Amino acid sequence: MNKFAGLFAVAVLALVNMQAVGAASANEGDSGASAEAGKYVWIVDHASSTLSFRAVEEGRSFEGVFADFATMIILNPEDLSSAEIIAEVDVTSVDAGNADRNEALPIRDWFWTSKFPMAHFSSADISLAGDGNYRAAGELTIKGVTLPAMLDFSLEIEGDRAIAEGSLSINRMDFKIGMGDYKSDSWISHEVEVVMHIEADRAK
């Protein structure tokens, strides 16, 4: 786990423990409150997880990845009322697949990483979709712009291991990504698909 993800995980666990202690205090005598809360906290295995994106450049599809990201997941499939997902992405860790794209993305017209090094997604509104998958309605912040975003994902839990596959679509122009000479979609498509593969272990 990278240093950024490690610090994020420590902060998340501290928050969850505080919530659990508060719940236990509110329900005096319920000694299992903390343990129950912990059962539905998931710690991401970054070695087995990926966060990528797909777009089209001059008619050809390409894929990029973000090497550094951290995710907090609290999710009980049997009771989604307290479910929450928070993700922080280090935008400076992007690899867009070739040197030209990698050189362009940090500049002001694109991600402007010197001013906006982080992207953020959060959702406390997670529901079961009609196809048996899940939908997280939340907010996505990129380059200082915050907009509603919808993350659709599948989830499989086997014992203490959870695997989620999901995606959300954005229009890069909404987040001022690719401005100036790069506004036209004749070079890079306006529509970009963000794709996640998350493997996580139950907190203990």
Q: How far is CA 8 from CA 13, 35, 45, 138, in A?
A: 9, 21, 13, 19
pLDDT tier for residue 149 given thresholds of 50, 70 and 90 = very high
Q: What pLDDT digit, counting tens, does each position of 150-194 carry?
A: 999 999 999 999 999 999 999 999 999 999 989 999 889 999 999
Give the C-alpha separation, 34 to 40, whole Å.
Answer: 11
Q: Which amino acid, residue 45? A: D
**Residues near 185 by Cβ (< 8 Å), separated by ≥ 6?**
none
Mean pLDDT of 71-83: 93
Contact yes or no for 165/154 (Cβ under 8 A): yes
**pLDDT at residue 195 greater than cutoff 60:** yes
**pLDDT at residue 33 greater than cutoff 60:** no
Contact yes or no for 16/38 (Cβ under 8 A): yes
- The partner residues of 151 in beta bridges, in order of sequence, read 136
**pLDDT at residue 204 greater than cutoff 80:** no
- Secondary structure element (H or E) that encloses residue 131, with its range: none
DSSP 188: B
Q: What is the pTM of this model?
A: 0.84
Domains of the chain: 42-202 (2.40.128.110)
pLDDT tier for residue 22 given thresholds of 50, 70 and 90 = very low
Give the C-alpha separation, 27 to 24, whole Å.
Answer: 5
- Quote the pLDDT of residue 11: 46
Q: What pLDDT digit, counting tens, does each position of 97-134 carry?
A: 999 999 999 999 999 999 999 999 999 999 998 788 99
Tokens of 117: 């090094």
Q: What pLDDT digit, counting tens, does each position of 56-76 carry?
A: 999 999 999 999 999 999 999
Give the C-alpha separation, 139 to 174, whole Å.
Answer: 13
**Residues near 21 by Cβ (< 8 Å), separated by ≥ 6?**
34
